[in-house]
Every structure is written in C-alpha cells, then in structure tokens.
Amino acid sequence: MLDPQDLYYTLSTVAQALAGALAVLVAFVLFRLAHLDQDVLVALSDLQGKHSGWEKFWKALRDGGLPKLDETLNPPEGDSRTRAQYSVASIAWRQRRHIVPVLYGAVIASVVDIAACFIMLPSTHTLARSSWAVYAAFGVVGLGVLCLASYVLLIAVAVKSPEPSHGKESGASPPR
C-alpha cells in the first residue's frame, strides 16, 4: 500500500516536469522548423518565379535533391548561388521530415502521461489503498522516463546536420 501523499506528489511532479520540459522543447523545435521552412520557401519561391511547371521541379528537388533537379531541368541551373539555395532547401526538407514525426510522438506520449496523472490525482486517497496503486505509479513514472528519452531523441534529430542527398550536391552550406 502506498501513502496517499507520496502518490499525490509523484503524480503531480511527473505531470509538472513533463509539461515544463515539453514546453521548452516544443519552443526550441518550432524555432528550428521555422528556419527550415524559411530555407524551403526561398528555394520554392525561386522555382515558382523561374519555371511555369515549377511543381515537377520542386518534386524533383524535394525527393531527389540537386542531382534529381539537374536531371529534370534542361539545362541544369548554372548559377552557383541558386544551386546552393536549392541544395539547402532539399536538405532542410529532408531534415524537417525527420523532425516532425519524432515531435508528434513526444507530444502524444507526454499528453497521455500528463492526462493519466491528472485523472488519477483527484482520487489518490482511494487509489493508494488499492492493490494496483504501485503499478499505476510505476506506469506513470515509466512512461515519463520514455517521454524524457523521446525528448533526447527529438533534440538529436533537430540539431543533426544531414548530409546532402546521394552525397552529390555541390555548392551547399549546411542548414541553419
């Protein structure tokens, strides 16, 4: 049997810690995504301004990087600044595609754990006397640890600088 106060403080601490950590992390990741989106929008605007069939060129750049865009454009883009801009956009798009699913997973796991804490908090006196109180506490804490691990993964994915696609892109600087 658990002490009701111990259970109450465990549940409230887990909920508060996850909510605070998640808020800071989401702010950081959204800031990173905004930079990646800006890199993508610059290249996309350039493609839209230069080519009437820009959709197929964007798809080539998005899916295959600069090498695929070169195959699609006839003749390939020759300006080194524009090539660098396109390369950065391709890298930013790929990095964004890695960040977003990890962000969703971290948020969903955190919301589930925080919600479980909130649901159990009002009934801690009753819950503490039940035979499954220890399992509930371990479940909430265990999921909290998994949430923290997902935060570490999210940070790693968000700060990783990916290699250019196929290792063939030239004129690119890493995304911000």
Amino acid type, 81: R
Nearest to 23 by CA among 159, 151, 152, 172: 151
Tokens 């750049």 belong to: 61
| DSSP H or E run through 64 | helix 54-72
pLDDT of residue 66: 87
Please check whether residue 111 is in contact with residue 149, taking contact to mean a CB–CB distance below 8 angstroms: no
Tokens 């839209």 belong to: 48
Give me the phi and psi of 121, to 5 degrees please: -55, -50
Arithmetic mean of pLDDT over the chain: 89
pLDDT of residue 170: 45
- Of 103 and 163, the structure prediction assigns the larger pLDDT to 103
* Residue 53 CB coordination number (10 Å): 9
CA dist 112 → 87, 119, 170 (Å): 39, 10, 44
Residue 148 has pLDDT above 50, yes or no: yes
- Return the structure tokens found at 37: 């989106």
| Model confidence, pTM | 0.81
Amino acid type, 18: L
So where are the chain's domains? 4-167
- Of 18 and 49, the structure prediction assigns the larger pLDDT to 18
